[in-house]
Amino acid sequence: MTTFDEREQGFERKFAHDQELEFKATARRNRLLGEWAAGLMGLATVEEYARAVVKSDFEQPGDEDVLRKVFEDLKGAGVSTTEGEVRMKMAELLAQAREQIKSE
């Protein structure tokens, strides 16, 4: 095996590893977002709602399905918030989730 092949395989392994970490961080962000939203709505079933938010991410590619679910649930529960505030919370929690995963 040549040095070039070894480097290529190394890059492929790093890419796969990075993608796995990003998937885990996104799933953790969604759980944290669900816990945050459940707290705002005063739900007793925080873990159940957080799981529902994580599952909602598999409806469509990207974050729009999660944003739509949480924002509409908050609005339906009478919580005064904007879509922008939910987006900012998602970004904040994604950074927090990445740090948590790096420290594990």
Domains in the chain, CATH or no CATH each: 3-102 (1.10.790.20)
Question: Distance of CA 35 to CAs 12, 62, 91, Å?
Answer: 35, 20, 15
Task: Answer yes or no: are the C-beta atoms of 93 and 34 closer than 8 Å.
Answer: no
Q: How far apart are CA 25 and CA 100, in angstroms?
A: 8
Task: Answer yes or no: are the C-beta atoms of 92 and 84 closer than 8 Å.
Answer: no
Which whole number is the average pLDDT over 1-6?
A: 76
Q: What are the pLDDT digits (tens) for 8-48?
A: 888 888 888 888 999 999 999 999 999 999 999 999 999 99
Tell me what pLDDT residue 1 has: 66
Question: Which amino acid does the sequence have at 29?
Answer: R
Predicted TM-score of the model (pTM): 0.86
Containing 76, the helix (H) or strand (E) segment is helix 64-76
Comparing 13 with 89, the larger pLDDT belongs to: 89
